[in-house]
């Protein structure tokens, strides 16, 4: 059975396609706070076990080392007085390894946050969202034939598909179903009954039902006659469900080799049209980034979420763009930006192609939680040819990013101070680094 959105899953869907980056940032912050507590504990252990004068570390500085300030080292030792009970370790080597591991962990946190936030949330490498590269491809599923009452027949495999899950006003969806034996050879499949009906998850009353035709005749949505694939097309706007807003379930009853089977598909239909695309798209370079402006006629003011994909001159997908902002009623523009440093890092070849644009008006605290804008499939705009030097290599410099980076850097300095306080000779050596920092430095050296 292809993708079946539910009331719960819809709320957890693509409200912000780039939310993965935000979640990563949150997790990093939690880790850093835990490590700060660990730092203070370990610093106290350092003071118990240290017998050398930390001032020796200052004389061992090298030009390539960032050595913690003497005050930080003294502060590390001073924390001993704050502890109520001493901490005993088996040996110095164990203590040293714990301090090294702590430094690597907080360095990993700093480096990971720097990497995940190096591009704006509105302009992300599409490799982070592989499920969003081709959003208009059919959703497919293969499974053993379901006979009812929880039983299945593993000798018969059913393949099904639906062309889309979300339907805007006047859009349609195509369903297919076929059967194969254990050797993947086609089996005759006959759809005996198919209905589409509205689903109201708040009560148990049956919804409005609409009969749906399935055939393998090369017409009415069927790609090829007599190929063993039975197809049906559902167009809500042309049915008694034209004004229904929510989940519509299509139930299909079929038979294969005299056995009765069943499957269903869910789609989410939005009959209202909150906004519509108008006019031609344009592209410009602004502040070192590439910006697309998409004209739109907004009928309902509110928060709009819009996503689009960008391919390079070779047809390779490389960026996922996101717009998430309030729009007033009337004509305006959706601004989608490709970060300059993303273009430079990917060594992108021009011209670029903007494609597969989709969006919706977000509706808070209601179900369904969106009113869809008609999607714009395939390539909708091709840019001019730009030189890479037109774009900035600078990473985002927002107040939030600076604040997080400063906090994570403080954690790293605390961990370094603890290590130097325990082993003053560390001041003359390179500090241990996390795998993330080693990789980042290696790439920077190329």
Tokens of 5: 């959105």
Pick the CATH number of 150-269 from 1.20.1250.20, 3.40.50.2300, 2.60.40.1930, 2.40.160.20: 2.60.40.1930
Strand ranges for 212-316 from DSSP E: 230-234, 246-256, 259-269, 275-277, 282-286, 289-298, 302-311
pLDDT at 68: 67
Exposed/middle/buried for residue 291 (C-beta within 10 Å: 0-12, 13-18, 19+): middle
Q: What is the mean pLDDT of residues 188-194?
A: 96
Residue recorded with tokens 């924390």 = 79
pLDDT tier at 445 (50, 70, 90 boundaries)?
confident
pLDDT tier at 195 (50, 70, 90 boundaries)?
very high
Predicted confidence (pLDDT) at residue 276 exceeds the cutoff of 80: yes
Cβ atoms of 72 and 441 within 8 Å: the answer is: no
| Fold agreement between 150-269 and 274-390 | yes
Each residue's pLDDT tens digit, 51-72: 333 333 343 333 345 666 666 6
Predicted confidence (pLDDT) at residue 400 exceeds the cutoff of 60: yes
Residues 6+ apart with CB under 8 A from 93: none
Residues 247, 168: Cα–Cα separation, whole Å: 12
Domain ranges of the chain: 10-118+399-445, 150-269, 274-390
Each residue's pLDDT tens digit, 409-438: 999 999 999 999 999 999 999 999 999 999
Predicted confidence (pLDDT) at residue 24 exceeds the cutoff of 50: no
pLDDT tier at 28 (50, 70, 90 boundaries)?
very low
pLDDT at 446: 72
Fold category of 274-390 in CATH: Immunoglobulin-like (2.60.40)
Each residue's pLDDT tens digit, 293-312: 999 999 999 999 999 999 99
Average pLDDT of the chain to the nearest whole number? 85
């Amino acid at each position: 059975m292809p993708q079946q959105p539910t009331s719960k899953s819809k709320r957890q869907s693509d409200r912000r396609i780039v939310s993965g980056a935000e979640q990563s940032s949150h997790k990093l912050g939690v880790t850093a706070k835990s490590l700060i507590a660990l730092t203070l504990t370990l610093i106290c252990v350092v003071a118990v076990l240290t017998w050398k004068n930390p001032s020796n570390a200052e004389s061992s500085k090298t030009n390539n080392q960032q050595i913690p300030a003497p005050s930080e080292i003294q502060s590390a030792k001073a924390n001993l007085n704050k502890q109520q009970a001493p901490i005993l370790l088996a040996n110095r080597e164990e203590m040293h390894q714990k301090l090294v591991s702590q430094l690597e962990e907080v360095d990993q946190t700093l480096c990971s946050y720097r990497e995940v936030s190096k591009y704006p949330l509105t302009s992300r490498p599409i490799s982070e969202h592989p499920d969003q590269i081709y959003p208009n491809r059919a959703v497919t599923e293969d499974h053993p034939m379901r006979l009812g009452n929880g039983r299945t027949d593993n000798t018969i495999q059913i393949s099904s598909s639906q062309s889309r899950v979300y339907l805007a006003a006047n859009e349609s969806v195509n369903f297919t179903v076929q059967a194969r034996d254990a050797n993947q050879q086609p089996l005759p499949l006959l759809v005996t009954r198919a209905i589409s009906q509205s689903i109201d998850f708040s009560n148990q009353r049956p919804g409005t039902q609409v009969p749906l035709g399935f055939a393998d005749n090369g017409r009415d949505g069927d790609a090829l006659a007599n190929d063993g694939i039975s197809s049906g097309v559902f167009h809500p706007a042309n049915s008694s469900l034209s004004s229904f807003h929510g989940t519509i379930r299509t139930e299909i009853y079929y038979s294969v080799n005299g056995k009765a089977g069943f499957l269903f598909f869910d789609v989410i239909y939005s009959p209202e049209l909150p906004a519509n695309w108008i006019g031609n798209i344009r592209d410009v370079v602004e502040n070192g980034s590439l910006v697309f402006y998409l004209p739109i006629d907004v009928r309902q003011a509110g928060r709009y979420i819009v996503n689009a994909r960008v391919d390079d001159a070779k047809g390779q997908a490389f960026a996922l763009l996101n717009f998430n902002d309030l729009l007033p009623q009337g004509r305006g523009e959706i601004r989608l930006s490709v970060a300059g440093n993303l273009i430079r890092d990917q060594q992108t070849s021009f011209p670029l192609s903007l494609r597969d644009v989709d969006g919706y008006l977000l509706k808070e605290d209601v179900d369904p939680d969106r009113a869809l804008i008609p999607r714009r499939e395939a390539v909708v705009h091709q840019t001019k040819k730009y030189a890479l030097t037109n774009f900035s290599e600078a990473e985002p410099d927002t107040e939030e990013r600076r604040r997080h980076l400063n906090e994570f850097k403080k954690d790293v300095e605390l961990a370094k101070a603890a290590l130097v306080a325990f082993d003053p000779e560390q001041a003359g050596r390179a500090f241990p680094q996390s795998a993330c920092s080693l990789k980042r430095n290696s790439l920077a050296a190329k």
